[in-house]
């Protein structure tokens, strides 16, 4: 049986590392970092870890709001969504995930665009 991306990343520990790298990239990016100025980053990282666990084939432990509810009123643009998705892809590359598997994760994330982008 082929290992899931979640397993390839090292399970929970690997996901935590991915989330840390991801938010380093996001918070360094002036195109989007202002969106996180008043955000409880510890809470957001927990939610992101649960989402990434699910998106990479691990157990679904996400118990937060729907993506639409969580992003309501944030006025996220398609460009901002794409920037965040590119940082996710870059994170997975840093962690040596194979390109075709990165594409699978990005496709999973792309399905959420309609729930996240509001302008």
pTM given for the model:
0.88
Place of tokens 């202002």: 34
What pLDDT, on a 0 to 100 scale, did the predictor assign at position 60? 83
Residues 38, 72 contacting (CB under 8 angstroms): no
71 annotated to bind ligand: yes
87 annotated to bind ligand: no
Tens-digit pLDDT string for the chain (119 aa):
668 889 988 899 999 999 999 999 999 999 999 999 999 999 999 999 998 998 888 998 777 788 888 888 889 999 999 999 999 999 999 998 889 889 988 998 999 999 999 87
The domains located in the chain, with CATH, are: 5-116 (1.10.490.10)
What pLDDT, on a 0 to 100 scale, did the predictor assign at position 1? 61
DSSP one-letter string for 65-89: --HHHHHTTS---HHHHHHHHHHHH
């Amino acid at each position: 049986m082929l290992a899931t991306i979640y397993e390839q990343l090292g399970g929970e520990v690997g996901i935590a590392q991915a989330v840390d790298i991801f938010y380093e990239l996001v918070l360094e990016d002036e195109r989007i970092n202002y969106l996180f100025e008043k955000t409880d980053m510890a809470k957001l990282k927990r939610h992101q870890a649960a989402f990434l666990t699910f998106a990479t084939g691990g157990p679904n432990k996400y118990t937060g709001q729907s993506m639409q509810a969580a992003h309501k009123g944030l006025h996220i643009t398609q460009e901002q969504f794409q920037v965040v998705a590119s940082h996710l892809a870059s994170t997975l590359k840093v962690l040596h995930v194979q390109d075709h598997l990165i594409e699978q994760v990005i496709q999973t994330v792309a399905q959420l665009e309609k729930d996240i982008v509001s302008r």
